[in-house]
Structure 1
Amino acid sequence: MKMSRHAIPTAIAVSLLISAQTATAGNESRSKAYPLSNGLIEVVADFSENAIYWCGVGDYALLKLSKRGSDRIYVWQGPAQSAAKPGQRAVTFSFQPPAAGSGSTPLTTDVSIVGNSLSVGQAKRTCDERTASG
């Protein structure tokens, strides 16, 4: 099969475009947020990593709930079985601190620490973090 001299540059351009889109994609596509009762938000991620959970709740808070970037998001429950998607793991967040929280705000994004918090803006910025899973 013989290719025209225009087909090769076109194929290369398409390949570069697809690679660029993949490289610039953030963690937004790797998680899904589900509203629960009492204002709780459950985030299910395709890979259990802190940044992906924070990204999911930050993205949801900004785009779906129109929260301000300075509003705080708190870990309500660390990784556990999902209520929204049985058989999957999820982290539950709230805009109110849980009664059984850590009491202080550690300098970490660890979602296993109940009461840990980030601002909505900080959570949304985790969407751009490179993760161990790619």
Structure 2
Amino acid sequence: MKIAAAAALCASLLLVAFPDSSAAGASRHSIRVNPVSDGVFEVIPNTGNGYLFWCGAADYAQRSLRVSRNSMLHITRGLGRSETTGRRSAVQFTLDPDLAPAAPAGGYGSVNSLQSGDTMSVQEALGYCFIPFGRP
């Protein structure tokens, strides 16, 4: 009986410590990641900094999907309202190049452009996880 009570207490503490881990792919920096469809996932940070979208996508791809750092992230839908939560700012990504749209005319703009067709390696995007997010 004491073992069951201890197990229940531990489970409750884990739910309090990691509230989003059961509902969605939780990334570092309070970035939510939710599946949209087969091969497409949505990154929903608490703030709209472009670095956070790439960081969240890369962190989720590596930690949850277990892809290599050489894998490429592709934006399938640029910055817009979240399909999974209704929040104002979300970006949808894929690792499957067959699901990715063509690169934008004029090529890759910047980390903050977040346009459909933008692409970046998981390795490069993970580098954005270590930028002080209070700055542009």
Fold conserved between structures, TM > 0.5:
yes
Aligned-residue CA RMSD (Å) = 2.3
Please, which runs of 5 or more residues in structure 2 have no aligned partner?
1-26
Please, which runs of 5 or more residues in structure 1 have no aligned partner?
1-26
- Supply the distance in 2 between the matched residues of 1:106 and 1:112 (Cα, whole angstroms): 9
Segment drifting more, 31-40 vs 93-102: 93-102
Check whether the contact 1:54–1:126 (CA below 8 A) recurs between aligned residues: yes
Deviations along 1:40-82, whole A, 9 cap, x unmatched? 0100011101110111111100100000000000111111111
The DSSP-based 3-state class of the residue aligned with 1:36 is: strand
- In structure 1, what is the equivalent of residue 127 of structure 2? 125
TM-aligned CA distance change 1:28 to 1:111, over 3 Å: farther
TM normalised by structure 2 equals 0.69
- In structure 2, what is the equivalent of residue 77 of structure 1? 77
- In structure 1, what is the equivalent of residue 41 of structure 2? 41
TM-aligned CA distance change 1:106 to 1:100, over 3 Å: closer
The letter of the residue matching 1:110 is N
The letter of the residue matching 1:119 is S
Deviations along 1:84-121, whole A, 9 cap, x unmatched? 11133210011134234326752632343211111111
Aligned pairs, number: 108
Segment drifting more, 65-74 vs 28-37: 28-37
The DSSP-based 3-state class of the residue aligned with 1:109 is: coil
Q: What is the Cα deviation at residue 132 of structure 1? A: 3.5
